Each structure stands twice: as structure tokens, then as C-alpha cells.
């Protein structure tokens, strides 16, 4: 079956992930939010940053949404800020609403 190859499966997962991210971004856009970042080094000594956005909806329900795991050449402030700005730009979320 041509729809069961690994490439097709990975492509379908990527499309679904982007759909979820677009929905999260749409929910956050125009609201105040915070950014939570944690750096980790995996077993191959590759440094990565986890990005989570926390926000509150109209019903005062708090949400913490995993946005992604991003490679970073070094876990210093300049690289982490660059990653945060890039993520928010890609999601079309204004940094001015960050608290």
C-alpha cells in the first residue's frame, strides 16, 4: 500500500503537527502569554531547547502548550532569545504580548 511507507507516515505526522501548532497559535494570538524554555543535552551531547507557551483563555482556564524541541548550538542567552523570537515569528505571535 503506497500510503504506509515511512516517508508518507512522517509527512502525515508533520502535517498533523503543523495543524495543531496553527490551532494553538490562533488561540494565543492577541492574548497575554508567557514563554517557558528548558535546555537539555541528549546522550549524543546535542543541546536542545524545549519551548512551552502558557496562556489563559476567556474562561480563565490556564493552558501550557508544548511548541517544540529546537536544536541550539550553545545554551547561552543569545541563542535562546534567537530561538524564542524565531518560534514566535513563525507562529505570528507578537512578542509584545509576552509577560
Give the whole-angstrom CA distance, residue 68 versus residue 86. Answer: 12
pTM here is 0.82
Residues 6+ apart with CB under 8 A from 79: 72, 73
Residues 6+ apart with CB under 8 A from 49: 37, 38, 39, 40, 69, 70, 72, 75, 80, 83
pLDDT digits (tens, 9 = 90+) for 36-56: 999 888 788 888 999 999 999
pLDDT digits (tens, 9 = 90+) for 12-24: 999 999 999 999 9
Burial of residue 21 (CB within 10 Å: 0-12, 13-18, 19+) is: middle
Amino acid at each position: 500500500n503506497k500510503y504506509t511507507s515511512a516517508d508518507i507516515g512522517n509527512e502525515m505526522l508533520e502535517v498533523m503537527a503543523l495543524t495543531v501548532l496553527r490551532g494553538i497559535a490562533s488561540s494565543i494570538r492577541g492574548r497575554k502569554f508567557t514563554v517557558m524554555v528548558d535546555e537539555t543535552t541528549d546522550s549524543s551531547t546535542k543541546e536542545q531547547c524545549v519551548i512551552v507557551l502558557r496562556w489563559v483563555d476567556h474562561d480563565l482556564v490556564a493552558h501550557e502548550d508544548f511548541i517544540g524541541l529546537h536544536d541550539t548550538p550553545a545554551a547561552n542567552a543569545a541563542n535562546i532569545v534567537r530561538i524564542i523570537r524565531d518560534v514566535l515569528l513563525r507562529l505570528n505571535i507578537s512578542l509584545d504580548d509576552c509577560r
